[in-house]
Homo-oligomer: A and B are copies of this chain.
Amino acid sequence: MRILILGGDGYLGWPTAMHLSARGHEVAVADNYLRRRLSREQDVEALFPVPNLAQRAKLWQARAGHEIKHYVGDLCEWDFVAQMFSEFRPEAIVHYAEQPSAPYSMLDRRAATLTLHNNLGVTANCIFAVREFCPDAHIVKLGTMGEYGTPNIDIEEGWLEIEHKGRKDKFLFPRQAGSLYHTTKIQDTDLLWFYVRVWGLRVTDLMQGPVYGLWTEENQGDEQLFPFFNYDEIFGTVVNRFIVQAVAGYPLTVYGKGGQTRGYLNIMDTLNCIRLSIENPPKAHELRVFNQFTETFSVNELAERVHDCGKRNGLEVKIESKPNPRKELEEHYYNPAHTGLLELGLEPHFMTEDVLDQLLATVLRYRENINRDAIFRGIKWN
């Protein structure tokens, strides 16, 4: 299948490109290196440098014998999008191309404005391009579990039947997010759901939890094909960051009570979720939603696991509670469904001791690169 990956330079974008390419799909990636630019501007660059898309494509060609096309440009610019879609004519689009950091979106007005315009602008152009160049193509959109927030009821997969005063209807599950970044993903959902109804688009919205890890089947033995590995407060996801903190002897930063519970998944599972979604597309006129995670943990539980991992590997790891700079519940009910992807055949890679030990061992090799000032900035929500 011809698959176009928007945001193909990112933490998940490039690994997804290799994974789909390895399985025989014809893959192209598009990116404007926004994440690299923002990381540099905020002095929170990744743990090790990664080659650019042209270089990565060459490395992959040499390793796997498959071509990955790359388009470098801003997906908010219609001309760029139109030229690419008319040339590549994708049958499926994976849409990762968003400013992906909650703290960045709360940094200041300019960062908020960039997040809002980039995320909605790319989603809108993606919809318009599908409509114009490949109306039957399947859009696989990365949403986030954070769209749901932490409601006091069970979280279903995207939809909820509501009975009210003796009448019934089915609606999108209520969404109320904890950051502007997460809110733009809700707004993306509004847009996609509208055009699914009106134009009959076929869309899968993957409500993903925080991802961790570095190794995938496709980069075994070749660290030049690693994804970005951010470990900072802004762009680093929590497990990756905690592992780096453990290596750096920097106490694990737990915000407030640490009872914040979320659903997590291994990067290898992300790739399989995307592939399973593409290989089993929804019908036209359907917005299919999956909750994409494999296990739930509280921040305290994660800190304990990383603490124990450090101990197994001869590191003394401290855990430190910080006043919470965010606005979120620190103790709450959390019971989200996540059966859809399992039914499609997902076989989870859980957060075992081996998985954490392997990640720690890899980070240890790059310990000289760690910028301690990147780890905690205390970006305040209020």
A-B contact pairs, 24 of them (CB 8 A): A112-B124, A113-B124, A116-B124, A117-B117, A151-B169, A151-B171, A152-B167, A153-B162, A153-B163, A153-B167, A153-B168, A167-B333, A172-B174, A174-B174, A176-B193, A176-B194, A176-B197, A177-B194, A183-B190, A187-B190, A190-B190, A198-B327, A198-B382, A199-B382
Taken together as a complex, chains A and B put the C-alpha atoms of A124 and B180 apart, in Å, by: 11
Please, how many angstroms separate the alpha-carbon atoms of A160 and B121 in the complex? Answer: 31
In the complex, A190→B382 CA distance in Å?
18
Of all chain B residues, the one with the shortest Cβ separation from A147 is B190
Chain B residues whose C-beta falls within 8 Å of the C-beta of A171 in the assembled complex: 151, 174, 176
Tell me whether A187 and B191 are in contact (CB under 8 A): yes
Number of this chain's copies in the complex = 2
| A71 lies within 8 A of chain B by Cβ | no
Instruction: Please state if B121 and A109 are interface contacts (CB–CB under 8 Å).
Output: no
CA of A152 to CA of B166, assembled, Å: 10
Is residue A355 within 8 Å, beta carbon to beta carbon, of the partner chain? Answer: no
Interface centre among A120, A154, A163, A190 (most CB of B within 10 A): A190
Separation of A20 and B172 alpha carbons in the complex (Å):
39
Q: Interface residue count for A (Cβ, 8 Å)?
A: 44
Contacts of A183 in B (CB 8 A): 190-191, 194
* 0 or 1 for each of A137-181: is its CB under 8 Å from B? (1 = yes): 000000000000001111000001011110111011011110010
Question: What residues of chain B lie closer than 8 Å to A162, measured between beta carbons?
Answer: 153, 160, 162, 174
Q: Name the distance in Å between A209's Cβ and chain B's nearest Cβ.
A: 20
A78 contacts the other chain (CB 8 A): yes
- Chain B positions within 8 Å of A128 at CB level: 109, 112-113
- Restricting to A108-142, which residues have a CB under 8 Å from any CB of B? 109, 112-113, 116-117, 120-121, 124, 128, 132
Chain B residue numbers with a CB within 8 Å of A113 are 78, 124, 128
Q: 6 closest pairs, A vs B, by CB?
A: A171-B174, A152-B169, A153-B164, A187-B187, A183-B194, A153-B167
Asked if A250 CB lies within 8 Å of chain B CBs, one says no
A309 interface residue, CB < 8 Å from B?
no
Residues 55-71 of A contacting B (Cβ, < 8 Å) = none
Q: Which residues of B contact A177 (CB under 8 A)?
A: 194
The reply to whether A381 and B164 form a contact with Cβ atoms under 8 Å apart is: no
Q: Report whether A164 and B154 are in contact in the complex, using a CB–CB cutoff of 8 Å.
A: yes
CB within 8 Å for A78 and B109 given contacts A121-B117, A198-B382: yes
A382 to B186 CA separation, bound complex (whole angstroms): 24
Distance in angstroms between the alpha carbons of A132 and B113 in the assembled complex? 14
A325 shortest CB reach to chain B, Å:
12
Within the assembled complex, what's the spacing in Å between the Cα atoms of A163 and B198? 30
The contact string, 1 if C-beta is below 8 Å from chain B, for chain A 264-301, is: 00000000000000000000000000000000000000
